[in-house]
Structure 1
Amino acid sequence: MDTNRRALLRRLGATGGITLLAGCSGDVPIGDDEASSDETKDDTSPSVAIADQSFDGGSVTVASATLPEGGFVVVYDDRVSRLGASDLLSAGSHESIEIELPSENSYVSVEDWSERDEVSVVATLHYDSNDTEAMEFTETQLKEDGWYRRGGTRVQSRATLNVSGIGPGDEESEDPTGDAMVWHAMTSSETETFEESLSIYNDENDAEIVSEENGDLRNNVETTLDSGDGPEMYRWAQHWVGNHYQRDFLYDASDDIDINLEETFSEAAVQAITVGAEDAVVGLPVGGETVSLLYNKDMIDSPPETFAEMESIMQEYNDPNNGQFGLSHPIDAYFASAWMHAFGGYYFQVNEDGEGVTGLDMDETKRGMEFIRDRIWPYVPADTNPGPQQAVFQNENAPLAVNGPWSIGTFEDNGIDVGVTSFPTIDGNTPSPYTGTSMWYFSERMYDDEDRRESALNYASWISQSEERQLAYADAHGDVPVLQSISADDLGSQVAGFKGSYDEGIAMPNHPRMSSVWTPTEDAMYDVLQDGADIDSRFDEAAEMIRVEWEERSGLSGRLSPLAERSVGRHL
């Protein structure tokens, strides 16, 4: 089965070939080869059954449904666009349930079927999870625990509607805008560079890729895609990938793009755009960033190459009693990641089975925390938040800083001659910070129209492989090019410094489980530095907290901690 077909079946809840025949009971979930022979069924087991039928407008009939806790029967079409829902049903079994199609909450009109003979539909069961007694199709109500499940699989039944009796509608449907639609939330200066690139592409390729600036990008992307609408592509950092992939918002273009990813892009960029056990390609990268070591050129003649040299500089300038420090360094799980990874430890990684695991209780990770406590913490201000730390370097009260490209403008506006270098080695160990990669996400809308999909993918392939455009972004905004063909010698000194750390870095994990790691990690770091907690026991405790949360939540959030979200997402 080809990748995209498999992905489409996954959107319908399938894990293999569809073997549920139209009209069969929902007791056999879509994708299961057969019902489990030893599964016990009783009168309280959730079930639903819908049979093949003709439809020329009006309603469809769901033959039967059993909802042990009450709720709704909801009907979707073969593109997973909602069609309609029943009224609130009481707990128990029901027969001959009439559902108006399309309903006022539908994202499909009957006219959409005027050129078709048949439409596949799926009947599912939902709880009344927010107790409103109405199926509102809000994000809250459609969260995962809103579906009735049995054995971890959504209870559902599939059937075919004969819609040949539906004639053309009175109104012609409006054609989608342009050849493809892309959304972004760039700053005004970034938008100017982007629109220049887009204009070049459209002119050279006789294309019409249409862009739209979208301030509340995440919310709007998730809401529109959830309703069957939205853009073909959207641009953001990679840390939404795991959550959006799990929620079936993304298109796997593995079979569509003709690019050798490993030979074309940096390792961190490839890690950012691939997800899942099959390494689905859900976007293409256009730029990277990370934190690195900054230095005041008026205070230091040349940057340190080893940590011993860096420590000597910090010792020379450190005088906390007089407001002088050796280093400006926000300390949280993101900013401190370089040191925490330096000795082979990690907060989180994906194992060979595709499962997310934490390494907070590993000796190597604890050694990273010991290094921060003993050899970083003595030289930084006690307030670890970004604002106070930035002020120290900005006011020339520290010769060194750990920060990202987003801070350069502020420092320079305050008269600091900023140099950027990669992290110095520690007795032969290389600090590896988390990296962020800005990418064009391939949305599930690419399943809907082959021509628009091709247009969007062509643009993404062009912009991601254009040395000229990546150098333009590097020059204008400090983005690290992700093309292997661009070396540090091609860049300005500041971007070259960030590139050194990016190339040595580790892609911030895009796995949904990562969302549970940030807060316990940062709480443990705070307790060690501020309260003198024992590293060994405190990090063991944090690791256990993460594993318990994974068991309870199944890692479905996919969001960064608020601090990490501010530190990473808004800059890309």
Structure 2
Amino acid sequence: MTMDRRTVLKNLGVVSGIGALAGCVGVQEQGEPGSSGGGSGNDSGNGSSDSGPSGTATVWYSLSESEKDEREAAIQRFEEQANHSIENSDISDMEKKTTSAIPAGQGPHTFEWAHDWIGDYVDRGFIADRGDELEVELDQFTEAAADAVQFDGGVYGLPHDSETVTLIYNTDLVDEAPESIEEMRSTMEEFHDPGNDQYGLSYPFNDPYFVSPWLQAFGGHLFDPEADEELGVASDEVVQGAQFAVDNFVPYMPNDPQYEPQASVFAEGNAAFAINGPWYLSTLNEKDVDYEVTTLPSPEDGSPTPYTGITIWYFATAMEDGGDDAVAARDFIEWYVTNEELLLENAEEQGSIPVLQSLVGGDDLPDTVQGFAEAVEQGVPMPTDPRMNQVWDPVKSALTKMFNGDAEPEPAMKQAAKQIRSNWE
């Protein structure tokens, strides 16, 4: 089963160049719902439209409490501008719900998730290629985002944000970003005092996505379908990265590696550093923590290489019927992913990292979001190959054993690799 990473995070509370798509007619006016395929006409910004049939799109997402109000406001804004309506639902277990509802014909027209499900969901017939119908050109987005929505020549969604993990520091405790691992360790050592509920670092260590910067810092990879040796979990380079993370970070963390106990200590002002993602910023803003975002310092002879994700609106198979409801879904998606005002609001209020080129190359993004955008440049996209689904859990188990002192990195990663190959068989 795929590691349901974003569902866990959202529900905790503390918590090659792409050209224009064939068949594209043009790009709609910024912030206005599209008018393709019999959908709503442009409303000239007056919030109403009388042309074209109306449809009702079913839209699923999984958000934290702090994000839900903004999403509902965005949907209301779309409905006021378009001749369509949206039936939206916040889903607590997106993987379980989509894999059961879509085959039964009860799924949404579109759902929001990171891009790494594409290969698996294409193979299982859950999502559809709608590239020939789009009025949005993929070169409006960053190259990584444009690549992320494609698989085997098809386009299975549209992107709106990127994500990765990077270093966050409490400015009440740390004067400036550390320039080296040694400097970071010195600060963690100075502040770390578990007896008084103070810690050097807040870091969900049982999650391969979070630990990927170090696992892949010395030239290794967890899984790369293009590499001579696809599975690199037990390679010398990945084992070196695991040992580096255990030696340099585990001693300064709370004694539970899971997300909530780790994230909560920094959110309460009781840790000098955190390694977390942009979804975490809304929690920190609610808690009124003074913080800055920076890139991860590099180890000697290495470079942090975190996994990155692209959040996309998937085209579920319900969009294949081509009716008014499918048009409504496509209009909503295209409006959402090209709406500069909305995406900038998301960046300012939620720490979202837009992938729309016009925003990425501008000066309007908050400094914290710019920090995450720089971290994204350090990383590599999560593989979309369906076999990646069998990589997450064995590596998670290995990291947990390392954290608890139950296994050294080398045997733990060798056991994980053995389990992954067994899963593939």
Instruction: Please give the TM-score of this superposition, normalised by the length of structure 1.
Output: 0.58
Contact 1:272 1:509 in 2 (8 A): no
Aligned counterparts of 1:495 and 1:401: Cα–Cα separation in 2: 16
Query: % of aligned pairs identical?
Result: 35
Structure scoring higher RCO (CA < 8 A, sep ≥ 6) equals 2
Aligned position for 1:242: 119
What secondary structure, in the 3-state scheme, does the structure 2 residue paired with 1:327 have? strand
Are residue 251 (structure 1) and residue 128 (structure 2) matched?
A: yes
Matches within 5 A, 1:338-487: 338-351=213-226, 357-427=230-300, 429-449=302-322, 452-487=325-360
Matches within 5 A, 1:89-168: none
Q: Deviations over 1:479-509 (max 9, x none)?
A: 1111232237322222222222233233333
Alignment length, in residue pairs?
A: 369
Aligned counterparts of 2:384 and 2:296: Cα–Cα separation in 1: 24
Are residue 226 (structure 1) and residue 103 (structure 2) matched?
A: yes
Aligned position for 2:10: none
Contact 2:217 2:302 in 1 (8 A): yes
Aligned counterparts of 1:417 and 1:192: Cα–Cα separation in 2: 24
RMSD: 3.0
User: Which AA in structure 1 matches 2:112?
Assistant: R
Task: Kindly state the Cα deviation for residue 202 of structure 1 after the two structures are TM-superposed.
Answer: 4.8
What secondary structure, in the 3-state scheme, does the structure 2 residue paired with 1:503 have? helix
Matches within 5 A, 1:325-336: 325-332=199-206, 333-336=208-211
User: Which AA in structure 2 matches 1:490?
Assistant: D
CA separation of 1:309 and 1:548: change in aligned 2, threshold 3 A: same
Contact 2:59 2:108 in 1 (8 A): yes
What secondary structure, in the 3-state scheme, does the structure 1 residue paired with 2:210 have? coil
Aligned position for 1:265: 141
CA separation of 1:389 and 1:464: change in aligned 2, threshold 3 A: same
User: Which AA in structure 2 matches 1:241?
Assistant: I
Structure with bigger gyration radius: 1
Task: Kindly state the Cα deviation for residue 310 of structure 1 after the two structures are TM-superposed.
Answer: 1.9
Aligned position for 2:183: 309
Aligned counterparts of 2:59 and 2:214: Cα–Cα separation in 1: 36
5+ residue gaps in structure 1?
Answer: 1-176, 552-572
What secondary structure, in the 3-state scheme, does the structure 2 residue paired with 1:213 have? strand
Aligned position for 1:213: 89
Task: Kindly state the Cα deviation for residue 187 of structure 1 after the two structures are TM-superposed.
Answer: 5.3
Task: Kindly state the Cα deviation for residue 363 of structure 1 after the two structures are TM-superposed.
Answer: 1.8
Aligned counterparts of 1:210 and 1:410: Cα–Cα separation in 2: 27
Aligned position for 2:409: 535
Q: Deviations over 1:159-206 (max 9, x none)?
A: xxxxxxxxxxxxxxxxxx9425131234565444334444544555x5
Aligned position for 2:34: none
Aligned counterparts of 1:329 and 1:391: Cα–Cα separation in 2: 10
Q: Deviations over 1:194-229 (max 9, x none)?
A: 34444544555x531423225355455444431335
Aligned counterparts of 2:264 and 2:317: Cα–Cα separation in 1: 44
Contact 2:57 2:326 in 1 (8 A): no
User: Which AA in structure 1 matches 2:118?
Assistant: V
> 2:371 pairs with 497, 508, 513, which one?
497
User: Which AA in structure 2 matches 1:381?
Assistant: P
CA separation of 1:452 and 1:359: change in aligned 2, threshold 3 A: same
What secondary structure, in the 3-state scheme, does the structure 2 residue paired with 1:407 have? helix
What secondary structure, in the 3-state scheme, does the structure 1 residue paired with 2:177 have? coil
Q: Deviations over 1:504-538 (max 9, x none)?
A: 23333333222221221122223334336343333
Task: Kindly state the Cα deviation for residue 248 of structure 1 after the two structures are TM-superposed.
Answer: 0.5
User: Which AA in structure 1 matches 2:313?
Assistant: W
Aligned position for 1:296: 170
CA separation of 1:345 and 1:227: change in aligned 2, threshold 3 A: same
What secondary structure, in the 3-state scheme, does the structure 2 residue paired with 1:384 have? coil
> 2:58 pairs with 182, 186, 191, which one?
182
Contact 2:57 2:328 in 1 (8 A): no
CA separation of 1:327 and 1:210: change in aligned 2, threshold 3 A: closer
CA separation of 1:400 and 1:446: change in aligned 2, threshold 3 A: same
Aligned counterparts of 1:230 and 1:319: Cα–Cα separation in 2: 49
Aligned position for 2:50: none
Q: Deviations over 1:376-421 (max 9, x none)?
A: 2232233222233234334544311112334344445555312222
CA separation of 1:326 and 1:440: change in aligned 2, threshold 3 A: same
Contact 1:340 1:369 in 2 (8 A): yes
User: Which AA in structure 1 matches 2:340?
Assistant: E
User: Which AA in structure 1 matches 2:405?
Assistant: D
What secondary structure, in the 3-state scheme, does the structure 2 residue paired with 1:349 have? coil
Contact 1:283 1:440 in 2 (8 A): yes
Aligned counterparts of 1:387 and 1:450: Cα–Cα separation in 2: 43
User: Which AA in structure 2 matches 1:521?
Assistant: V
Task: Kindly state the Cα deviation for residue 240 of structure 1 after the two structures are TM-superposed.
Answer: 3.5
What secondary structure, in the 3-state scheme, does the structure 1 residue paired with 2:131 have? coil
CA separation of 1:442 and 1:413: change in aligned 2, threshold 3 A: closer
Q: Deviations over 1:30-74 (max 9, x none)?
A: xxxxxxxxxxxxxxxxxxxxxxxxxxxxxxxxxxxxxxxxxxxxx
Aligned counterparts of 1:521 and 1:324: Cα–Cα separation in 2: 29
